[in-house]
Copies of this chain bind each other. A is one copy, B any other.
Amino acid sequence: MNAAIVGWGHTPFGRHDHLSFEDLVRTAAREALADAGLAGKDVDAVWLGHFNAGLVPDGFCSSMILSADEGLRFKPATRCENACASGSAALYSALDAVRSGRVRIALVVGAEKMTSLDGPGVTRALSAASYQKEEAGISFPEVFARYARAYAARYSDPREAMARIAVKNHANAADNPLAQLRRPLDLEFCLVPSDKNPMIADPLKKTDCSLVSDGAAAVVVVADDLAKDFRRAVGFRASAQVNDLLPLSKKDLPAFEGPREAFRQAYAAAGVTVADIDFAEVHDCFTIAELLTVEAMGLCALGEGPALVKDGAIGRGGRLPINLSGGLKAKGHPVGATGVSMHVIVARQLVGEAGAMQLPGAELGLAFNMGGGAVASYVSILEPLKV
């Protein structure tokens, strides 16, 4: 038994002053059920991906999904958390349940509300995704600044490549009506620190950082023998999860070992190489993360990412278009929603429903969602199913 995605919901990402966390959860859940043509009573179990760490006061949230539809009462509901990969943690738990046969129809929601805290509050909350014992008091941008400095020390200065990634992802977001920032960024603006683009954690400038966002995304996942009952379905050719050690000091930072191992496992399970992948949504929480991902996924050798980025290989029309949605950088990054959002975006591309983002003829899509500094790595390889 394998699992298939047969419906989805996705709120706009951005600032939602008038929607509570619960409103966001409910909105995405209802949209996904409606998209799949299902009612709450049809669902066997629900999962919520949610990071929290004090971002909202709601500490017991799995059952909030039940309020989306009265038919959901008494259904099992579970919250899963793996920092910024919490959405994938929820989705992968649903995959296990479907593959075990216990659950035939699952509803998975990922959600986060971040803008109700001020900047320092968000920084404090996100720092919980780093290893407190070793990294207490350092911000999450500083975690990735260490990756960038380690990359520079071993290979070359990554700043120009990081700026190009920011420019690409902002350009892509113009095609995504659900994206938080749809205005283009200029390469020069991204390259040079300025009052409007200050240094956050050297060498990461503001334009190297993803956004603080509210938002939710949801998918309906079913046993694939049910896929024929839905108007379209997207299957999992592979789903690989790898967790690495928490302390940065125990890892080879530029090698991005955890993500690399997750890509290796996913390709092996799918029987493909990176050359078979038509497009990818990857976890650009910081531009340096997308650069390291390009290398970890095997698009080029270690240290060669900057040249590949400069050649346009990961732009629309390139060898492997990455983050056609705008990525976390411009689509937005409501932490718990991100992993689910990636799967929604990939599924929409694969069934020709990606609107202006659409890549013609895409047959194999990849989602890479990451928690912490390469701590939790989820790689899904998705394909459309005949229904």
Contacts and interface: CB of A to CB of B under 8 A. Distances in A.
A211 interface: no
Interface residues on A, range: 35 or more
Given A60-B371, A60-B375, 11 more contacts: A46-B243, A51-B59, A53-B59, A60-B130, A62-B243, A78-B241, A79-B82, A80-B81, A80-B93, A95-B100, A99-B100
A186 interface: no
Contact of A57 (B58, B100, B136, B258): B136
B73 A245 contact: yes
Given A136-B57, A243-B66, A246-B60, A74 B261 contact: yes
A111 to B, nearest CB: 14
Number of copies of this chain that the complex holds: 2
Given A58-B132, A101-B99, A376 B243 contact: no
A371 B79 CA distance: 12
A363 interface: no
Interface in A123-137: 125, 127-133, 136
Interface in A223-260: 241-246, 258
A244 B74 contact: yes
A83 interface: yes
A375 B99 CA distance: 26
A59 B243 contact: no
Contact of A372 (B60, B66, B74, B242): B60
